[in-house]
Structure 1
Amino acid sequence: MSSSVCRRLHGLFATAKTTSLPKPPKATIFHVSPAVSSDPPTDKTLTALVAKFKKNSSSNHFRRHGHKAYVNTVRRLAAANKQSYIDEILQHQKRYPNITNEGFTAQLISLYGKSGMFDQAHKLFDEMPQLNCDRTVMSFNALLSACMNSKKFDKISELSSELPEKLPIKPDTVSYNPVVKAFCEMGSIGSGLLVVNEIEKSGVQPDLITFNTLLDALYRNDRFEEAEKVWGLMQEKNVVPDGRSYTAKIRALMAGKRISEAVEVFQKMGSKGVKPDAFTFNALIKGFCDDENLEEAKRWCEEMLKNDCKPDNVTYRILGYHACDKGDFEYALKLCKEAMSRRCLVGSPLMQLVLAGLVKESKMEEAKELMELGKSNSFFQYKVEWPSDE
């Protein structure tokens, strides 16, 4: 990153600091998948998990191919707010020769970041020379992502402007995307737009992630005119929009009750050969539910299936709660049963609401069926109680 660009970015971030920043999270940054049991793991269970992981780490095959095990173990510990245990198992990795491999160490930096442990991520990055591990743009990008995941938006200024000048690192497009994201998260979208111009001066081109980040932020803030300019810039740079690009616009249009325009955008996606995903359909379904049009929301759920797109947790919750609100408990029951068959979590509160509605309408057989399904479900254990007589 050139000195002039660094100074420009530093100045931009200094300006953005006047915006109130989100407080760093006290708990996990991971999106934790629900466990089979809703009971929290005991310290004894987690201690055993740590011991087993450290034992498995002695296997070179595990260290080379066990990425999923690393992620899942750290996720479980983060969900239990056991940052000291996370540090223990990641520090343990330093004893193995893999630590000299930048890809392996970058993975550890990333895991720290996803747990909200940026200081530890930064410390490991600083220690890499002593660990005989090269630092290139790969580990630099991992550090920037750790900074973003830890919600340390203001620190990205320091990292992106100072480290490339101190180290023989040439930032790439991936390096700049967290910078743009940080500005957007701090409410300084205009500065994020300026970064696009600055990075081009460094010989780096913005990519689809860059533009989607900007589109998402602009549409969330109802800045449609500026968003259209970003679409024009994408066309100019030959960056092809994807489902996320269109979904951001659809979500904003539906939120603004501009339903016909949102449907037109959906149709345009099809004409451009862009396949909608669950996020796209959920935006439409939520919009119709917010518009008190349950029947149209149902239709779009059916359309979702016709497009070989599976409903997810969000789909079932949006439709389930709105169906209950409309008194359509039979449809809500259908959704709960379908969700369980697809291993989608609808949550005990929704199950309880559906159960109460069925009992109120004297549909006892259906209510008993739902309660038994909730208790016997092998994937999620729902805590659902029979409604008390009033």
Structure 2
Amino acid sequence: MAYFSRPRLSLAQRRCFSSILNPDSKTPLTSREKSRAALKLLKSEKNPERILEICRAASLTPDSPLDRSAFSIAISQLAGANYFEGIRSFLDELKARPDLRNERFLAYSIVLYGRADLLDNALQTFDKIPDLGVERTAKSLNALLFSCIVAKNYNEVKRIYLEFPKKYGIEPNLDTYNTVIKAFSESGSSSSGYSVIAEMDRKRCRPNATTFGTLIAGFYREEKYDDVGKVLRLMKEYDISPGISTYNIRIRSLCKLKKSMEAKALLDGIVSRRMKPNSDTYYLLIHGFCKEGNLDEAKNLMKKMVNNGCQPDGECYFTLIYFLCQGGDFESALQFCKESLAKGWVPNFTTMKLLVNGLASISRVDEARELVGQMKEKFPKFADKWNEVEEGFPK
């Protein structure tokens, strides 16, 4: 793999890049404003060369969540366009930047290669880290393992785990073992996780709640309920009490299996133990019951959530409103929509269109028009779309 110096941009090129993010060139953007502008543009841009221009204009780094989101979207868009050579050259260009010549960025670039399904490049980058004057540690090893998971190449995870620590003189850490267990769990080989825990014992690396939570999710996915119980007993042996995150994993897993009533029984158990469920707990259950068509139970959970002092977030409202509309309960959907709007949370266009059309279909045209008016006021650029919706209302 060739590493080359970052090309110096001409004044005209710099001005061109600046105008991509900020048409008003008299007002320079801060780094954060550049990142926000890039993120917004990348979400809708399809032209591969233009995507690269946007990224270069923003001078993205992996140091902020905004930039990481922009990187991820850019790489996904480029991979979707099969522009793999552009991905390679862009990441090579970034790796040559003096401010990015560190293990943190190299590890991140390895993960980006995985997102683009370019594992050969991820492996080459890992192999050549010392050539850039950077020490290779468990951080880059873990990035390589995760890159394989993102690319869904689970056999490669196993090979790297077995061969690379010895080959490169790297001592695996807790994240290494947890990543390998994640690969086994996602690939339907959760039972192999027991051998990883045994290896952790030999290396005196103590498992944590994430270790066991990942295994539990895997065994639920494989519907091996006896093993779920076995893992819970193992947690006790390691003196790790299941916290709300572990219960949420179990609830999510059961809801995915369309066993939401069993998941609700876990919620009742949490409350009886005087543990406090969080908004994720309720959201998972509300979504689970909605997917199963049990809308009454979903509505009851929303009320129970508030009564127990846990405030629903936007996703709870959006999910419930959407599925209530799908189920024809437009009056309940309207009530929850009003609550959501009062908190500043606006459902997406598809959900709101379902609701207003539904209200119009049950002779609640005035309320439908009122909602449309609110949408036009909040989002003037979509006024034409709402006008079209409104024209379809009964006269």
Under a length normalisation based on structure 2, what TM-score does the superposition of the two structures give? Answer: 0.75
Match of 1:198 in 2: 199
One-letter identity of the residue aligned with 2:244: G
SS state at 2:313 partner: coil
1:340–1:377 contact (8 Å) kept in structure 2: no
Percent of residue pairs bearing the same amino acid type: 30
Q: 1:184 to 1:302 in 2, by over 3 A?
A: same
Shift in Å, 1:312: 3.7
Structure 1 position 379, deviation (Å): 11
> Within 5 A, what are the aligned runs for 1:347-386?
347-378=348-379, 385-386=388-389
**Contact map agreement 2:357 2:393 (CA 8 A) in 1:** no
Is contact 1:37–1:381 with CA below 8 Å preserved after alignment? no
| Structure 2 partner of 1:52 | 57
Q: 1:239 aligned to 2:275?
A: no
1:153 CA displacement: 1.3
Residue 323 in structure 1 maps to residue 320 in structure 2? no
- The answer to whether the Cα contact below 8 Å between 1:329 and 1:354 also exists between their aligned partners in 2 is yes
Give the Cα separation in 1 of the matches to 2:380 and 2:237: 48
> For residues 43 and 236 of structure 2, what CA distance do their matches in structure 1 show?
51
1:75 aligns with 2:75: no
- For the 8 Å contact 1:333–1:370, the answer to whether it is kept is no
Q: Distance in 1 between matches of 2:379 and 2:165?
A: 51
Q: Name the SS for the 1:130 alignment partner.
A: helix
Q: Output one character per residue of 1:234-261: Cα deviation in whole Å (capped at 9) or x when no partner.
A: 01112232323112333455556573x5
How many correspondences in the alignment?
Answer: 346
- Does the CA contact (< 8 Å) of 1:323 and 1:331 recur in 2? yes
Give the SS at the match of 2:78: coil
Q: Which residue of 1 aligns with 2:187?
A: 186
Structure of greater Rg: 2
| Secondary structure, aligned partner of 2:131 | coil
- 1:255-278 deviation digits (Å, cap 9, x = unpaired): 56573x544422443465654333
1:308-331 CA-partner distances (Å, limit 9, x unpaired):
443243x23432233224432132
> Is this contact kept in 2: 1:99–1:133, CA < 8 A?
no
Contact map agreement 2:75 2:112 (CA 8 A) in 1: no
Change (3 A) 1:253 1:94: closer
Where in structure 2 are the equivalents of 1:169-318 lying within 5 Å? 169-253=170-254, 255=257, 257=259, 259=261, 262-270=263-271, 274-289=275-290, 292-305=293-306, 306-313=308-315, 315-318=316-319
Distance 1:39 1:198 in 2: 43
- Whole-Å separation in 2 of the counterparts to 1:52 and 1:348: 31
- Kindly state the Cα deviation for residue 212 of structure 1 after the two structures are TM-superposed: 0.6
Q: Is the 8 A contact 1:278 1:309 kept in 2?
A: yes
Q: Could you say which residue in structure 2 is the equivalent of 1:31?
A: none
**2:42–2:54 Cα contact (<8 Å) kept:** no
Matched residue, 1:95: 96
Structure 1, unmatched stretches of 5+, are 1-34, 58-62
Once residues 356 and 42 of structure 2 are traced to their aligned partners in structure 1, the CA distance between those partners, rounded to angstroms, is 19
| Counterpart-to-counterpart distance in 2, 1:232 and 1:81 | 46
Q: 1:132 to 1:47 in 2, by over 3 A?
A: closer
Residue 28 (structure 1) aligns with: none
Partner amino acid, structure 1, of 2:51: L
Contact 1:251-1:283 at 8 Å conserved across structures: yes
Distance 1:379-1:113 versus aligned 2 partners, 3 A rule: farther
Q: Give how far 1:279 is off.
A: 3.1
What is the CA-CA distance between 1:37 and the residue it aligns to?
9.5
Q: Indicate the SS of the match to 1:238.
A: coil
Deviations 1:12-40 (A, max 9, x none): xxxxxxxxxxxxxxxxxxxxxxx879983
Aligned 8 A contact 1:74 1:86 in 2: no
Cα distance in structure 2, aligned partners of 1:329 and 1:78: 40
Change in Cα spacing, 1:274 to 1:93, as seen in structure 2 (3 Å) is farther
Pair 81,97 (structure 1): closer, same or farther in 2 beyond 3 Å:
closer
Mapped to 2, the partners of 1:369 and 1:79 lie a distance apart of: 39
1:41 aligns with 2:42: no
Q: Residue 10 of structure 1 aligns with which residue? A: none
How far 1:113 sits from its partner (Å)?
3.3
Aligned-residue offset at 1:155: 0.7
Q: State the shift of 1:365 in Å.
A: 1.9
3-state SS of 2:44 partner: coil
Is the 1:246–1:265 Cα contact (8 Å) retained in structure 2? yes
Structure 2 CA distance for aligned equivalents of residues 343 and 36 of structure 1? 21
Query: Displacement of 1:287 after TM fit?
Result: 4.2
Could you tell me whether the CA contact under 8 Å between 1:337 and 1:370 is conserved in 2?
A: no
Deviation of 1:121 (Å): 2.5
RMSD across aligned positions (CA): 3.4
Tell me which residue corresponds to 2:151. Answer: 150
C-alpha deviation, 1:96, in angstroms? 2.7
Provide the C-alpha distance between the structure 1 equivalents of 2:342 and 2:145, rounded to a whole number of angstroms: 40
Q: Which amino acid aligns with 1:190?
A: S
Give, in whole Å, the separation in 2 of the partners of 1:380 and 1:153: 45
Quick one: distance in 2 between partners of 1:130 and 1:355? 61
Q: What's the CA shift for 1:301? A: 1.5
Contact 1:99/1:131 (8 A) holds in 2: no
The answer on whether the counterparts of 1:46 and 1:77 sit within 8 Å (CA) in structure 2 is yes
Q: Give the number of the structure whose residues are more often helix, by fraction.
A: 2
Q: Is the 8 A contact 1:269 1:275 kept in 2?
A: yes
Amino acid at match of 1:68: P
